[in-house]
C-alpha cells in the first residue's frame, strides 16, 4: 500500500515538473499575450519574437487596410500562374511587344534557379530586423555604415555601391533588388532579387546564367552577371501590382524600385529600418554615388505620394526612417 502511494506520488511530481518545464519553454518562446475574452483569459501567440512585430495587426487600421499577408511575394513553380487582372496590368508595362510567352518563360526559370517557398518562417520564434537602403544622397556624411551592417538583412537597390562609401552606407548586402537595366555584379553570399517589369526581364535573367545572348532591352544590358545562381529570387508580378494598388494607390505608372523594396521588406521582416530615402528640399532625386540630379516629380514614379506613404508608415510605428544628412 505504502509502495503504491509512493509510486503515485512520484508520478504526480514528475507530471507537475514536466508541465512546469513545458510552460516555461512555451512562455520563453512565444511571448504569451493574455487577453480577457468572454470565456476568461485566453492566450495569443505573439506574431514574432521582436519587441514590435510587423505582422501584428492589432495596432493600425490604416496599415491593416493596405497590408495583405497572403499576397505572393516571390515566384515559384506552384504560384506562377497570373490571374487575369495581374496579367493585363503587368503586360501593359511591357516595352517590348515581341517578348516571349510568360508561361513558357517561367517554365524554364525553375530548372535554373531555386524553386522554393521563401520566407514562410514568420512566427513567435523569429525576430528578423532589416535595413532597407535606398540610394538617396542624404546618406553622404551620415556615418550610418556600422548601424546598417548590424541588421540581419540589408536590402540594397539597383546600382547603389558600398565600396568607397562604407562609412555612410555599410558593407553588408544580403539582398540586391534589380532589373536588367540596373544590374551590377554581386558577391557569392548576396541574393539577386529580380524585379521583373516585363517578360524580357525574366528572359534576360535566364540568358545571363545560360546562353548570355540577350544584350539589349530598351537599352544595352549586360549579357551576363556575377552572382550566386542558388540565391536568385524573382519578385512575383502580383506583388508589384499589390504594391501599386494598395500602397501607391495607383499613382504614376508603377512604383519605384525603392518603394517596392520597402514594401517587400514589410513582408519578409519583423522590423524594418529605412535609410537613404528622400529627395533634397527642392525636390531633387539625387544619388549618394553620382552627381546626376533628376527631378523627383517628373517621370514614371509617384515620388511625392510614395514619400507620404513612407512617412505614414513611420507614424503608424511600422518602420523607422533614418533621414541622413542632407
Alpha-carbon dihedral sign for residues 150, 281, 308, 297: negative
Residues pairing with 153 in the sheet: 130
Residues 311 and 307: their CA atoms lie apart, in Å, by 6
Q: How far is the CB of 136 from ligand C5P (least distance, A)?
A: 4
Considering only residues 72, 145, 180, 278, which one is a binding residue for ligand C5P as defined by CB under 6 A? 278
Report how many residues bind ligand C5P under the rule CB under 6 A: 16
Q: How far is CA 62 from the centre of its chain?
A: 20
Nearer to ligand C5P, 82 or 140 (CB): 140
Q: Is 286 in the site for ligand C5P (CB under 6 A)?
A: yes
Give the residue from 90, 167, 168 showing the smallest Cα distance to 134.
Answer: 168
By CB under 6 A, name the one of 47, 72, 258, 324 that touches ligand C5P: 258
Interaction between residue 247 and ligand C5P (CB under 6 A)? no
Q: How far is the CB of 67 from ligand C5P (least distance, A)?
A: 19
Residue 10 is a catalytic residue: no
Of the candidates 121, 34, 28, 64, the residue with the CA atom closest to the CA atom of residue 247: 64
Per CB under 6 A, the list member of 75, 235, 243, 279 interacting with ligand C5P is 279
Stretch of residues binding ligand C5P (CB under 6 A), selected from 25-33, 51-59, 120-128, 252-260: 252-260
Least distance from C-beta 80 to ligand C5P, angstroms? Answer: 26
170 touches ligand C5P (CB under 6 A): no
Q: Which residue has the cell 533614418?
A: 322
Q: Would you state the cell numbers that stand for residue 287, as one nine-digit string? A: 544619388
User: Does residue 211 sit in helix, strand or coil?
Assistant: coil
* Residue 294, beta-bridge partner list: 285
Q: Which is nearer to ligand C5P, 239 or 259 (CB)?
A: 259
Catalytic (active site) residue 254: yes
Q: What kind and span of H or E run contains 33?
A: strand 33-37
Catalytic choice (254, 267, 286, 287): 254
Q: What is the chain's percent helix, strand, coil content, to nearest 5?
A: 35, 15, 50
Q: For the chain, count helices (H), then strands (E).
A: 10, 11
Please give the DSSP secondary-structure letter assigned to residue 153: E
Based on CB atoms, which residue is closest to ligand C5P, 114 or 161?
Answer: 161
Taking each helix axis as running N to C, give the angle between helix 102-112 and helix 199-208, from 0 to 180 degrees, rounded to the nearest 10.
30
Shortest distance, CB of residue 256 to ligand C5P, whole angstroms? 4
Residue with the three cell numbers 504594391? 243
Residue 277 as a binder of ligand C5P (CB under 6 A): the answer is: yes
Interacting span for ligand C5P (CB under 6 A) from 53-61, 140-148, 264-272, 277-285: 277-285
Let me know: does 319 contact 134? Beta carbons within 8 Å.
no
Task: For the segment 95-154, give every residue that binds ligand C5P (CB under 6 A).
Answer: 134-137
Q: Interface with ligand C5P includes 158 (CB under 6 A)?
A: yes
Q: Please pick, from the candidates 151, 285, 309, 319, the single residue that binds ligand C5P as defined by CB under 6 A.
A: 285
Active site residues: 254, 301
Tell me which residues touch ligand C5P (CB under 6 A).
Answer: 134-137, 157-158, 256-259, 277-279, 285-287
Amino acid at each position: 500500500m505504502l509502495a503504491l502511494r509512493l509510486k503515485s506520488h512520484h508520478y504526480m511530481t514528475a507530471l507537475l515538473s514536466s508541465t512546469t518545464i513545458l510552460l516555461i519553454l512555451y512562455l520563453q518562446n512565444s511571448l504569451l499575450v493574455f487577453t480577457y475574452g468572454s470565456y476568461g483569459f485566453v492566450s495569443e501567440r505573439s506574431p514574432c519574437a521582436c519587441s514590435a512585430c510587423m505582422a501584428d495587426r492589432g495596432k493600425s487600421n490604416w496599415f491593416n487596410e493596405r497590408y495583405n499577408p497572403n499576397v505572393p511575394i516571390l515566384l515559384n513553380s506552384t504560384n506562377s500562374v497570373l490571374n487575369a487582372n495581374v496579367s493585363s496590368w503587368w503586360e501593359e508595362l511591357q516595352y517590348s511587344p515581341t517578348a516571349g510567352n510568360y508561361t513558357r518563360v517561367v517554365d524554364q526559370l525553375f530548372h535554373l534557379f531555386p524553386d522554393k517557398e521563401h520566407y514562410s518562417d514568420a512566427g513567435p520564434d523569429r525576430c528578423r530586423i532589416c535595413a532597407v537602403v535606398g540610394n538617396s544622397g542624404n546618406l553622404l556624411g551620415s556615418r550610418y555604415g556600422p548601424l546598417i551592417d548590424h541588421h540581419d538583412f540589408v536590402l540594397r537597390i539597383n546600382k547603389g555601391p558600398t565600396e568607397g562609401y562604407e562609412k555612410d552606407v555599410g558593407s553588408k548586402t544580403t539582398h540586391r533588388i534589380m532589373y536588367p537595366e540596373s544590374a551590377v555584379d554581386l558577391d557569392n553570399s548576396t541574393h539577386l532579387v529580380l524585379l521583373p517589369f516585363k517578360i524580357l526581364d525574366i528572359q534576360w535573367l535566364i540568358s545571363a546564367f545560360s546562353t548570355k545572348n540577350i544584350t539589349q532591352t530598351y537599352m544595352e544590358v549586360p549579357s551576363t552577371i556575377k552572382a550566386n545562381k542558388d540565391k536568385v529570387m524573382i519578385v512575383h508580378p502580383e506583388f508589384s501590382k499589390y504594391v501599386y494598388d494598395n500602397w501607391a494607390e495607383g499613382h504614376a505608372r508603377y512604383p519605384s524600385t525603392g518603394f517596392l523594396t520597402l514594401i517587400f521588406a514589410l513582408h519578409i521582416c519583423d522590423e524594418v529600418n529605412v535609410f537613404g530615402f528622400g529627395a533634397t528640399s527642392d525636390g531633387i532625386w539625387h544619388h549618394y554615388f553620382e552627381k546626376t540630379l533628376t527631378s523627383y516629380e517628373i517621370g514614371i514614379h509617384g515620388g511625392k505620394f510614395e514619400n507620404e506613404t513612407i512617412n505614414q508608415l513611420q507614424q503608424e510605428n511600422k518602420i523607422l526612417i533614418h533621414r541622413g544628412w542632407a
